[in-house]
Structure 1
Amino acid sequence: MSSSEDSTSQSTGDSIKDPSVQSPPGNSGSVTSHHCETKYIYVDFEPNDPRNPTNYSHRKKWIITSIACFFTLVAGITSAGYNMGFPSMISDLATSRHQAMIGLSVFLLGFGVVPLVTAPFSEEFGRLPLYCVSLVGFLLMYVVIARAESILAVQLGRFFQGAFGSTGATMVGGTVADIWPHEQRGLPMALFSLMAVGGNGLGPVIAGLIQYNDSLQWRWSQWIQMSVCAACFLCIPLMGETRSAIILIRIARKIRKDTGNPQYRAKIEDERTSLKHLIWTSCTRPLFLLISEPIVTSFSVWIGLAWGIVYCMISSVGLVFTELHGFNVAQAGLGFLALVVGSLIGFGTNFIQEWLYRKYFPTKGVEARLYSACYAAILFPIGMFIYGASCSPSVHWSGLVIGIMIFLWATYTIYLAVFSYLADCYGPYASSALAAQSLFRNILAAIFPLFSQQMYQTLTYRWANVLFGSLAVLMIPIPYVLLWYGPAIRNHSRFCKRVMDAHSKPEQSDLKTSKEKV
């Protein structure tokens, strides 16, 4: 979801409903036409138009949400599952572990950077075509990687696979916003976050079992993951187009064709800017927010640290279980289930956060999104300290599992809080704010595994993870400061202040009307 998508969805002028304008033949009952001061007649949805994505049935909304989240899950499995194939890949391609690790990092680099360029394409062409193109490219990269004869081919394939797979993360939030009203987005976004975070644990489990079979190993891991991705691709047509502006453009185009009257148009056709300008805005505004907005900066650093540590874990947990506790590769892969369980705990406790949000929103405003983030800030370093202290042959491996679960519980909660709070704070600029944290988060996740091996060798697994826990302690004040001083901080932000002013206008208008009536 790009910033341009949000901004252009706002109406720049008032349209006056003209009841004398009837829906053209073949389009009855579902289109309202609006005259404007120009020569055009703008079409819009009727209140209960079934073609409006917000009016889809509950069942259809959940089908769309589930398919979009399935793509997110496939991307997470592919991202993290790659790591478990290192033993056979290093032997097969005569390469080093560090060179193989670059394949993990470049996937995340493509995942974080490329959406800045591709996100505006859903503004121009809709979400469904972008989903289809992305999944086709994602599928083809499995073939490139599985048939690679050099580590360079693997690295290139992984970069482009990350670029194509980024749609599974960046556009799902927009799809959820297309079909669910604001007050009903909590559970769909919690499910999306579960797939995004939990998928990182499920991938190594599957890949570890494949790697354990001497007749399969790393190439077959690609083919099996490709079959799962193909199942997702077959489901995509069931989603249909969910971006209302694109649907209105198609309706207006059909009316023009059926009636021969060129006056019928969708308002977005006259309001949207060029694709070049959309791409420029999509690339520059997130960077501006990242360096100029304290809320975006602090949340990006916080989730960036957590995400970087997640990928350090992905690159090292298998080694910790095999080197310190004598696990085989299949057993080490099963150890990653702790990441999945931690994410599930976060998903479950999010229902408490939703209850707190509904209860305290009238008094606390959008800061009511941060209650769960406050306890997650404490759980984050606790999980890392337990995990670090358990990185020893003398400590039972269950300590590792407990530490990982607590850390992933915290990471899931932080991840969801970042998405929810930034979306509420920045309104029409939310996609740029979210793109900023996504860029920073994935860049850190790409960098961390590159130095993790040397760090673990120098500091040992125990003290390296204690260091990570100490850095997490420094992040604890972030949600507490925003919980208590968030309104004042937002009031000093020219982006957030516009959203606050926009929300206060209806209240001022209602007050003025009541005074006039008196």
Structure 2
Amino acid sequence: MSSAQADGTALWPPGTVYLQDACATGSELILQPRPTDDPNDPLNWSTRRKYMNIGFVCFYVAMVAEFINAATPTWGPMNKELGFSYEILNDSYAAGCACLATGSLILIPFALKYGRRPLYLFSTVLQFALSIWSAKMRTVADLMLINVLQCFFGSLAEAIVQMTIADVFFVHQRGRMNAIYVWVWLLSSYMGSLIAGFVAKGQGWRWVWWWNAIIFGIAIILVGFGYEETKFYPSSTHNISSTGLPENEAVPSKESPGGLVDEKSAPGGQQHRLNAESADLESKKVSHEPLTDAAGAVRINPNIPRKTYWQKLAITTTTRSAADTNESYITHIWQPLVLLVTIPAITFGALVYGILVGLGDVMSATMSTYLPQEPYSFTSDQIGLMHLPRMIGVTIGALIVGPLSDWFIVWLSRRRNGIYDPEMRLWCIVPFLPFVPAGALLFGIGLNNHLPWPIIAVGLVLYNIGVTPIDSIIVTYLTDSYRDIIGDALVGVTVVRNTFSTAFIFAMTPWIATIGLKWVLVTILLIACAILMFFGVFIRYGKTFRGHTASRYEYYAARQYKDRAAS
């Protein structure tokens, strides 16, 4: 689907918005999505309040990621004390990956219905209890059940955070925030393994989990008394904030939640009026963005009372579904799978995220399995130190891509008369693509051929310099393109992402025995490169794909639980 034309006959696909007012002095940014006039709207929160809230979320993410990945340096001591074979330990890791794939499928509908806060809080309390159980582990049944439950509820950290970011931050801020999320997730995964290695050697492997219990206890207090609900459910009396447009000239925009449509100036305005036969038909149309609605100051309605501290900490924020049906929860379980196979961007994002995380998980498992053996004979703390190169790579990638992608889309939209397409972000991925095969090959060949460990470490640095920007941008691309269904979309991504990890880890031991470690990693890398090549296709045709699937997107957006997107 083409860009909006001057004659106003073209409809814009979901995700395409006006990001800058080219007529305003200094090309003023337009806030997308448009906030309401309610002071309790998370989009209207102060910068300090937004960052404090996302800080609590990042702490939760850090602890969940650490819990999932801290076990690998303890495998050696557990093997000696409890007699768990490395095959059983690998299988426990794979079982956890399977639950990461299915957990969000069951749990995210609760976050859509009852809000983000109860899920964050319940998951934190459960992780605390599982940490104590882990410290007292004795049997293979303990090992498997802990991994299953921890990953099932920990899967929330892979989908609910992007929902929180979309709740609180504008389009031109999401690249930086998603880069921070990916950085926290990966850094904590690697740092958890590093610290766990030293704790296992110095205090014993059980103390890895006692320390987890202590820190999760702190997290319960922080999340319980600090994190505010970001799910916003405006009443019908709330208006979309504007900068002077008369209320009778604007209607809510479905393409950009909370946006405005000025029928006299919006692209496609004439066609919009001709097709607006009824309110129901109007709500299902692909929407249009304003030409002249500058960002300006948000007008807050002084008659709307601000929530008290205890109201902000309400356990649930329950909303009805847009269709007001009793089957909505069941619908949200299978709906992500439908979106996964019918919307190309979601399919592609899931494959990219899945293959890169799956390859990274294989690298983690092979390190924990082969580095303790000859000729390296690494101890648990030395294996932990091998995650330091990964932390360096993740940090370099995040520091570059976060500010870069947000700056780039503003700069490029200015050159296109203020029009923003989500595919603009994908250009920022191109410089990082070569780092993925370079790092993976250096790691695989180095470990297989018993080359000096610094070569393996350099491979880990390069791989993570490439992976971090790619992961953060693909998640931001999906958020910008399909915000109204982002919860369901990311559940589908999570299913595929962890399916890759589960399949690779379960198959790793017999696969390596058949063709060797080097060729296993090369095979996975070839699959990754084949998937990554499609970035060019989406840079060129992504907008067309969004246009062709616009009606499907609008249909599923209308079936979401009623919040800002459905108001």
Coarse TM-score class (shorter-chain normalised)? 0.7 to 0.9
- What is the CA distance between 1:416 and its match in structure 2? 1.0
**Is the CA contact 2:103–2:156 (under 8 Å) kept in the aligned structure 1?**
no
Q: 2:468 corresponds to which residue?
A: 412
Superposed CA deviations along residues 433-474 of structure 1, whole A, max 9, x for unmatched, are 221111110121122122223333443333332233222221
Unmatched segments (≥5 aa) in structure 2: 1-34, 238-304, 307-316, 559-567
Q: 2:392 corresponds to which residue?
A: 341
Among 90, 93, 104, the residue aligned to 1:104: 93
- What is the CA distance between 1:129 and its match in structure 2? 1.9
Aligned partner letter, 2:208? S
- What is the CA distance between 1:393 and its match in structure 2? 5.8
- What is the CA distance between 1:400 and its match in structure 2? 0.9
**Is the CA contact 2:178–2:473 (under 8 Å) kept in the aligned structure 1?**
no
**Is the CA contact 1:290–1:437 (under 8 Å) kept in the aligned structure 2?**
yes
Q: 1:57 corresponds to which residue?
A: 46
Q: Give matches, 1:427-446, under 5 Å.
A: 427-446=483-502
- What is the CA distance between 1:48 and its match in structure 2? 5.5
Measured in 2, the distance between the counterparts of 1:312 and 1:295 equals 26
Q: 2:309 corresponds to which residue?
A: none
For the residue of structure 2 that corresponds to 1:446, the secondary structure is: helix
**Is the CA contact 2:426–2:477 (under 8 Å) kept in the aligned structure 1?**
yes
Instruction: Report whether the alignment pairs 1:146 with 2:135.
Output: yes
Q: 1:230 corresponds to which residue?
A: 217
Q: 1:355 corresponds to which residue?
A: 407
Measured in 2, the distance between the counterparts of 1:247 and 1:166 equals 32
- What is the CA distance between 1:151 and its match in structure 2? 0.9
Q: Give matches, 1:447-486, under 5 Å.
A: 447-486=503-542
Aligned partner letter, 1:230? G
Aligned partner letter, 1:125? Y
**Is the CA contact 1:145–1:158 (under 8 Å) kept in the aligned structure 2?**
no
Q: 2:380 corresponds to which residue?
A: 329
Q: 1:15 corresponds to which residue?
A: none
Superposed CA deviations along residues 256-306 of structure 1, whole A, max 9, x for unmatched, are xxxxxxxxxx995584635x5232222111111222222222222222111
User: If each structure's helix is expressed as a fraction of its own residues, which one has the higher value?
Assistant: 1
Measured in 1, the distance between the counterparts of 2:322 and 2:353 equals 35
Measured in 2, the distance between the counterparts of 1:285 and 1:416 equals 24
Q: Give matches, 1:97-496, under 5 Å.
A: 97-213=86-202, 215-217=203-205, 219-236=206-223, 237-245=225-233, 271=322, 273-274=324-325, 277-323=327-373, 324-350=375-401, 351-361=403-413, 363=416, 365-392=421-448, 395-495=451-551
Q: 1:506 corresponds to which residue?
A: none
Measured in 2, the distance between the counterparts of 1:97 and 1:473 equals 30
Q: 1:86 corresponds to which residue?
A: 75
For the residue of structure 1 that corresponds to 2:516, the secondary structure is: helix
Aligned partner letter, 2:37? P
Measured in 2, the distance between the counterparts of 1:299 and 1:181 equals 21
Aligned partner letter, 1:122? A
State the percentage of identical aligned residues: 21
Aligned partner letter, 1:330? D
- What is the CA distance between 1:392 and its match in structure 2? 4.9
Measured in 2, the distance between the counterparts of 1:420 and 1:151 equals 39
Q: 1:77 corresponds to which residue?
A: 66
**Is the CA contact 1:75–1:168 (under 8 Å) kept in the aligned structure 2?**
yes
- What is the CA distance between 1:390 and its match in structure 2? 1.7
Change (3 A) 1:65 1:103: same
Change (3 A) 1:95 1:394: closer
For normalisation by structure 2, the TM-score amounts to 0.72
Change (3 A) 1:94 1:493: same
